[in-house]
Structure 1
Amino acid sequence: MKLNRSMYAKLLLLCLLYVCVGSSTGAADNDSTLTLQNVNLVDVVNGTVKPQMAIVIKNGKIAKIGNTQSVKPLGKIMDMQNAYVIPGLIDVHAHVTAMFKPNEETTYKHLNYFLRHGITTVRDAAGNAPVLQKMHKEVNEGKIQAADVYYSAFMAGRWYYDRGVGARREPYTAWEQCVNPGDDLDKAMQAAKDCGATGLKLYHSFDKDFLVQIVKAAKKHGLKIWGHAMMYPAKPHEVAAAGVEVISHIYMVESYSTDTLIRLRKTPQRYKDSIKLAVNINEFCRAMKQNNAILDATICVSYPREKWVLPMLKRMHNKGVKVAAGTDQIVDLAAPYPRLMDELTYYADSCGFTNAEALRTATTNAAETIGMEKQIGTITVGKRADLVVLEANPLISLKNLRQQVLVIQLGRIVQKE
């Protein structure tokens, strides 16, 4: 069902009136109670829609879900007139602030842009921790209207920084470390924890044996382990086998090719595509599945220049590799919608995903990447009230993700402008 123009206009007016009276900042307090009546609840796990449902939100969390006729409404009541409700979307690979010269105002604008377009949470893959920590704190305290942000401490080996010529000197920072065999890994992990990082971003100059040590130390300190598919020298299957939990960039499986022509600029792209698509990924996919690792595919990084990544992701998906949606894109504040919408469309249109499977990459699977699956990713009693209300059913077309009526984060209705 799609809302007709009259219903849609009425619903938008209702939402606007609610926002205006919610608070002086244009958002409902997260200690208030709100009931959404007559919603079509999209079950992203099962790929189904539950019609005529009611959702009660209290203290920023989902307090009750049930049939509209059976659930007693509490607090402020909004009749959603059969609009569709999904969990807040998550981009698992974003860059919202610089590492060394961060602009706090720009970082806020990026996170605010995400939130206003239904992306309630992002994972920042290597940025300035003090700024990101401040943003995370202020979002959860209701001081700013922005996507919640989880972030990493960036780690690489000596060769990456020095290139063998001693180019980089100390000091490093807690969120940007040089780690090498023989270092005090407990000290490195504690520094990462102290700057508020949720996990590590392992980037370059790690072999398979040292990776195992890093993973062990990270788990000891309760940190998530994220990293590139290719660690130079560790190969993608070795990265997965070492226990890296979220592995970024599908294009890095090109490292399995021994054809040196693919590295030459003058080589025709069609030839490069054919060689890269033909690489053997069986060992990599086995390691991913055995270790329950998640692929942060970042199709947006490569396509349309490198067309081979689409059928390659389809192969991996058919082999059962779990995927989370990340874009690795700098935010374009002038764009009508975030690149995450394109990423999901690529999955469904060209990579063999059903619309429900694609939607899970930005909800349930994405929540798992940051270790927040018990808090976000599904519309479930007890979880955070991060919700997106849509005009039409996204299980029919992912383009309907762009037809947003309102966004709710931590029980607060987001002011669009």
Structure 2
Amino acid sequence: MTTTRLINAHVIDTRHGKVLPDRHVRIQDGRIVDVSETPLSGSDDQVIDLRGRYLMPGMVDSHVHVTAITPNFALLETLSPFYVGAKSSELLEAMLMRGFTTVRDAGGADYGLAKAVDEESLVGPRILFAGNALSQTGGHADMRGPGQQTFEGCFCCAGLGRVCDGVSEVRRAARDEIRKGATQIKIMASGGVSSPTDRIDSTQFSLEEIDAIVEEATAANIHTMAHAYTARAINRLIPRGVKTIEHGNLMDEESCRLFLEHDAYLTPTLATYDALAKEGVEAGMAEHLQRKVFDVLDAGGKALEMAQRHGVKMLFGTDLLGRMQRHQLNEFHLRKDVIPADDLLRAATCNAADAYGHGGDFGEVIPGARGDLIVLEDNPLDDITVLTRPDEQLLLIMKAGKLYKNRL
């Protein structure tokens, strides 16, 4: 077993939004084993003096697409999965170097990519993966255009989703993704920006189909996440057991009530709309699809304010595509005028663990949690934007007890 001791640390208590000064932390065999107010003794393999810097858990991005090397999803489904995997490695390493030690992939990543990271064949955050998101015919993961009768791509390779219709088909598809190791199931439950034949305001899948998918996920002790924009879509999902709603730009007051009643979570993804509006076409998205962004762009901020006012629990998510993934930390800027720093930190740490059913496993600096840690020069509770300047602020990155950056 290898041990590392971090001494003289100001620990960020993410759950309670406060600083625990002058703490000493021991990480052994990839897990935190001690967090002490008094110096820890022992012959640890490595001792790092933080000299009063700020220690917090590594961050979690709850909505990524690590295989989305282009925003053109129809093209993505025709590319070699080997090529896509190789290019994904660049995106993964960049995420880790921004301080994200865990990411929840919302469609595209699979067991092989997650295992490659776990085995350290690839450098990146731990990947929790949905495999292929489930979509109805003509839904948000069906990339066939309105005039297409055939399709060059393969729904089982480099794309983000799979098409299934009817209770028996969706049940089989959910079971298949679970068989392949999915840590959550993704439902495409409304129209979206990047899909060619649906409308933003459409609902997708019947209630019976949704019930079947959620039932299969629940049976496997994993959660469901659902792509949904409108109140009409959201309000039929939450009572059926969907744990996290992705985007939610066009939700209403009733949606907020349902989030609270059913202990569900909202994952706003403001960064992707901001990026798509500014450079979506240049980055590779078809112009007629990019225009759909403006149907939800301004609404995202209003939904964020409504959710915060009602006390809806939120996750940090970005949903960025292709080269626009470099804007990952911009999500903090886009939320900071509405969401207090302590709530934003919770969204990017312990809220994610709670939502996934893994409370205490990550997202906190507590005994038993994973040794996923970052060290900052300044206190993010005083100024959340310190997290957006990793080159100057991010001094140390540790994942599972292994150092990936150390400027101390």
Selected match of 1:173 from 156, 161, 168: 156
2:287 corresponding residue in structure 1: none
1:302 corresponding residue in structure 2: 273
Q: Alpha-carbon deviation of 1:63?
A: 1.2
Q: Alpha-carbon deviation of 1:416?
A: 7.5
1:327 corresponding residue in structure 2: 318
Q: Alpha-carbon deviation of 1:211?
A: 1.5
1:282 aligns with 2:261: no
Cα distance between partner residues in 1 of 2:124 and 2:370: 15
Q: Alpha-carbon deviation of 1:368?
A: 3.2
Cα distance change, pair 95–249 in 1 and its aligned pair in 2 (3 A): same
Instruction: Write the mapping of 1:64-79 to structure 2, written as runs, cut at 5 A.
Output: 64-69=34-39, 72=42, 74-79=44-49
Q: CA contact under 8 A between 2:238 and 2:262: conserved in structure 1?
A: yes
1:247 corresponding residue in structure 2: 245
Q: CA contact under 8 A between 1:237 and 1:285: conserved in structure 2?
A: no
2:378 corresponding residue in structure 1: 392
- TM (norm. structure 1) is 0.77
Selected match of 1:343 from 308, 326, 331: 331
Structure 1: runs of 5+ lacking an equivalent: 1-30, 254-280
Q: What secondary structure does 1:213 align onto?
A: helix
Q: CA contact under 8 A between 2:320 and 2:328: conserved in structure 1?
A: no
1:155 corresponding residue in structure 2: 134
1:202 corresponding residue in structure 2: 187
Q: CA contact under 8 A between 2:133 and 2:187: conserved in structure 1?
A: yes
Cα distance change, pair 236–193 in 1 and its aligned pair in 2 (3 A): same
1:215 aligns with 2:214: yes
Q: CA contact under 8 A between 1:251 and 1:302: conserved in structure 2?
A: no
Q: CA contact under 8 A between 1:65 and 1:71: conserved in structure 2?
A: no
Instruction: Write the mapping of 1:137-156 to structure 2, written as runs, cut at 5 A.
Output: 137-152=115-130, 153-156=132-135
Q: Alpha-carbon deviation of 1:396?
A: 0.3
1:318 aligns with 2:327: no
Cα distance between partner residues in 2 of 1:80 and 1:237: 47
Q: Alpha-carbon deviation of 1:164?
A: 8.4
1:108 corresponding residue in structure 2: 89
Q: CA contact under 8 A between 2:167 and 2:208: conserved in structure 1?
A: no
Q: Alpha-carbon deviation of 1:196?
A: 2.1
Q: Alpha-carbon deviation of 1:117?
A: 1.5
Aligned length: 351
Cα distance change, pair 182–78 in 1 and its aligned pair in 2 (3 A): closer
Q: CA contact under 8 A between 1:114 and 1:146: conserved in structure 2?
A: yes
Q: Alpha-carbon deviation of 1:89?
A: 0.6
Q: CA contact under 8 A between 1:54 and 1:71: conserved in structure 2?
A: no
1:293 aligns with 2:284: no
Q: CA contact under 8 A between 1:40 and 1:49: conserved in structure 2?
A: yes
CA deviation map 1:120-177 (0-9, x unaligned): 1111111152xxx223213223343211111113111124247888846798539733
Cα distance between partner residues in 1 of 2:355 and 2:92: 19
Instruction: Write the mapping of 1:90-109 to structure 2, written as runs, cut at 5 A.
Output: 90-98=60-68, 100=77, 101=79, 102=81, 103-109=84-90
> What is the CA RMSD across the aligned residues, in angstroms?
2.8
Selected match of 2:5 from 35, 38, 52: 35
Q: Alpha-carbon deviation of 1:224?
A: 1.9
CA deviation map 1:343-396 (0-9, x unaligned): 1232222x2x22111111110112234443332111111111000000011100
Q: CA contact under 8 A between 1:42 and 1:85: conserved in structure 2?
A: yes
Cα distance change, pair 299–409 in 1 and its aligned pair in 2 (3 A): same
Q: CA contact under 8 A between 1:356 and 1:395: conserved in structure 2?
A: yes
Structure 2: runs of 5+ lacking an equivalent: 69-75, 190-203, 278-293
Task: Give 2:237's aligned amino acid.
Answer: V
Task: Give 1:146's aligned amino acid.
Answer: G
Q: CA contact under 8 A between 1:39 and 1:53: conserved in structure 2?
A: yes
Cα distance between partner residues in 1 of 2:300 and 2:169: 38
Q: Return 165-174 or 233-242, whichever deviates more.
A: 165-174
Cα distance between partner residues in 2 of 1:332 and 1:179: 30
Q: CA contact under 8 A between 2:214 and 2:241: conserved in structure 1?
A: yes
Identity rate, percent: 25
Task: Give 2:128's aligned amino acid.
Answer: Y
Cα distance change, pair 212–164 in 1 and its aligned pair in 2 (3 A): farther
Selected match of 1:135 from 108, 113, 133: 113
Cα distance between partner residues in 1 of 2:322 and 2:163: 28
Cα distance change, pair 411–70 in 1 and its aligned pair in 2 (3 A): closer
Q: CA contact under 8 A between 1:390 and 1:404: conserved in structure 2?
A: yes
Q: Which of the pair has more CA radius of gyration? A: 1
Q: CA contact under 8 A between 1:185 and 1:217: conserved in structure 2?
A: no
Q: CA contact under 8 A between 1:206 and 1:234: conserved in structure 2?
A: no
CA deviation map 1:162-204 (0-9, x unaligned): 7888846798539733232241554322210222211221114
Q: Alpha-carbon deviation of 1:399?
A: 1.7
CA deviation map 1:210-264 (0-9, x unaligned): 3223211221133321111248x962211222221111113243xxxxxxxxxxx
Q: CA contact under 8 A between 2:53 and 2:376: conserved in structure 1?
A: yes
